[in-house]
C-alpha cells in the first residue's frame, strides 16, 4: 500500500473516531412520531421514559428491564402497572410529560429518552443538545402542525389512532429490539377489535346508547381523542362529540345531552360517587337507571390508545352497553389471555 493511501486511511479513521457515537457505523436512523429524524445507537439498553403510554408498551414488549428512569406521574396515570413490572418502583424520576431535569436525565446515562408528542419543543431540544437521542411518541398519525398537539384535529379520528398505534408500537419495538413481539401485540389487539366490530355493526343507529365520560371538575373528552373512538367502536355515541379534546363542560350541557350511560376512569373513581350523590345529576337517565360504570385498568380510555384498549377495552365497553349481544363473552378469560401473554401473569385487578 502506498504512503499516500496509508495516510488517507489513517486520516479517515481519525475523523471517524472523532464523531459522536450516534454518527458512527453502529448507529441507525429512525423517524419518530413528531416527524423528526433521530440517530440512535444500534443497541438500546438504558431508557428514560417520560410518557406513560410508552412505559406501558415497553412493559408489554418485555423491555421493562431496560428502563432506568420514569416520569413522575406514572403511578397515578397507570395505576397498577407495578404489579406486572415491580422493578419500576423506586426508579429515578428525572422529569414528567412537559418538563425534564436535564442533569438528572444525563446522570442516568440513557441510550435514549422517550417523550410525548406534546412535550415542549424547548424540553426536547435541551435534552437532544446533550447528544442523547430523543424520540417523540404520539400513538396517532398526525401530519404537519397536528403532530405535536395535545388535542389534534384529524380528518378521521379512528383511522388516525389505529394507524398511529401501529406506527408507534412498531417503532418502540424496533428501537428496543422487540420487533417480533410488537407484531404479536398489534395482531392480538386488532384481531379482538375485529370481533367487537362485527357484532356492533348489527346494532341499528336508533338503538345505540348515548355515553358520557365523566372526569373531575366537569371535564370530559370530546372529538380528537381516542376516548371518542373507543365509545364509537363499542357501539355507543359520545354525547360530547361536539366539543374538542379534553375540555370542561357545564351541568346544563350534560342535562341537555342526558346520557344513558356514564363511564368514569378507574383513576378518577371518586367522581362516580360524586355523580350518584349529586342532586343536579338525579334526572339524568344514567343515574336513574344506575348505569354508571368505573372502567377497569385495562380499558385505559385515555386521550391516546394502547394495545389493551383495543384488545380488551372496546370489548368490555361493548359488553356493558349491550349485555345481551355479548352475553357469551367471559371478560376474565379474555383479560387473562392478554395479560398472560404480554404481562407474564393473569390479570388481578377489578372488572
- pLDDT tens for 236-286 read 999 999 998 889 999 999 999 999 999 999 889 999 999 999 999 999 999
**Residue 296: pLDDT band by 50, 70, 90 thresholds?**
very high
**pLDDT of the residue at 41:** 97
On whether the CB atoms of residues 164 and 33 are closer than 8 A, the answer is yes
Distance from the Cα of residue 115 to its chain's centroid:
12
Burial of 27 (0-12, 13-18, 19+ CB in 10 A): middle
Tell me the H-state helices in the chain.
3-18, 52-60, 74-77, 102-107, 121-128, 157-175, 179-200, 226-233, 251-257, 270-277, 285-288, 307-308, 314-321, 331-342
Mean pLDDT across 192-203: 94
Which cell numbers in the block locate residue 285?
Answer: 337517565
- Indicate the average pLDDT of the chain: 91
Mean pLDDT across 15-19: 39
Closest residue by Cα to residue 78 from 50, 55, 48: 55
Pairing verdict, β 134-137 and 112-116: parallel
**pLDDT of the residue at 49:** 98
- What one-character-per-residue DSSP string does 332-347 give? HHHHHHHHHHHTSS--
Domains belonging to the chain, first-starting first, are 17-177 (3.40.50.1980), 203-342 (3.40.50.1980)
**pLDDT of the residue at 223:** 87
> Residue 313: which residues within 8 A CB-CB, separation 6 or more?
230, 295, 298, 299, 300, 301
> Of 302 and 268, which is predicted with more confidence?
268
pLDDT at 25 over 60: no
Distance from the Cα of residue 27 to its chain's centroid:
27
**Residue 172: pLDDT band by 50, 70, 90 thresholds?**
very high
- pLDDT tens for 199-231 read 999 999 999 999 999 999 999 998 888 989 999
Amino acid at each position: 500500500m502506498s504512503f499516500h493511501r496509508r495516510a488517507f486511511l489513517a486520516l479517515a479513521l481519525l475523523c471517524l473516531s472523532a464523531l459522536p457515537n450516534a454518527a458512527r457505523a453502529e448507529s441507525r436512523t429512525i423517524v419518530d412520531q413528531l416527524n423528526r429524524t433521530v440517530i440512535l445507537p444500534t443497541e438500546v439498553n438504558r431508557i428514560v421514559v417520560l410518557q406513560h403510554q410508552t412505559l406501558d408498551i415497553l412493559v408489554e414488549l418485555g423491555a421493562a428491564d431496560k428502563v432506568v428512569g420514569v416520569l413522575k406521574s406514572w403511578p397515578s396515570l397507570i395505576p397498577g402497572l407495578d404489579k406486572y413490572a415491580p422493578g419500576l418502583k423506586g426508579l429515578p424520576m428525572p422529569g414528567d410529560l412537559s418538563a425534564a431535569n436535564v442533569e438528572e436525565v444525563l446522570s442516568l446515562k440513557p441510550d435514549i429518552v422517550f417523550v410525548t408528542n406534546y412535550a415542549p419543543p424547548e424540553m426536547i431540544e435541551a435534552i437532544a443538545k446533550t447528544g442523547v437521542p430523543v424520540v417523540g411518541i404520539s400513538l396517532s398519525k398526525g401530519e404537519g402542525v397536528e403532530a405535536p398537539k395535545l388535542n389534534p384535529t384529524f380528518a378521521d379520528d379512528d383511522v388516525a389512532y389505529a394507524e398511529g398505534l401501529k406506527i408507534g408500537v412498531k417503532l418502540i419495538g424496533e428501537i428496543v429490539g422487540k420487533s417480533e413481539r410488537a407484531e404479536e401485540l398489534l395482531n392480538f389487539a386488532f384481531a379482538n377489535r375485529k370481533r367487537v366490530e362485527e357484532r356492533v355493526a348489527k346494532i341499528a343507529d336508533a338503538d345505540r346508547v348515548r355515553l358520557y365520560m365523566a372526569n373531575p371538575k366537569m371535564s370530559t373528552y370530546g372529538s380528537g381523542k381516542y376516548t371518542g373512538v373507543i365509545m364509537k367502536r363499542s357501539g355507543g355515541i359520545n354525547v360530547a362529540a361536539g366539543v374538542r379534546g379534553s375540555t370542561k363542560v357545564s351541568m346544563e350541557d350534560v342535562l341537555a345531552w342526558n346520557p344513558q350511560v356514564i363511564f368514569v376512569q378507574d383513576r378518577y373513581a371518586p367522581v362516580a360517587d360524586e355523580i350518584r350523590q349529586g342532586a343536579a345529576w338525579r334526572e339524568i337517565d344514567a343515574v336513574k337507571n344506575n348505569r354508571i360504570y368505573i372502567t377497569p385498568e385495562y380499558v385505559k380510555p385515555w386521550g391516546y390508545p394502547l394495545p389493551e384498549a383495543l384488545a380488551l377495552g372496546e370489548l368490555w365497553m361493548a359488553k356493558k352497553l349491550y349485555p345481551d349481544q355479548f352475553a357469551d363473552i367471559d371478560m376474565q378469560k379474555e383479560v387473562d389471555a392478554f395479560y398472560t401473554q404480554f404481562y407474564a401473569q393473569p390479570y388481578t385487578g377489578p372488572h
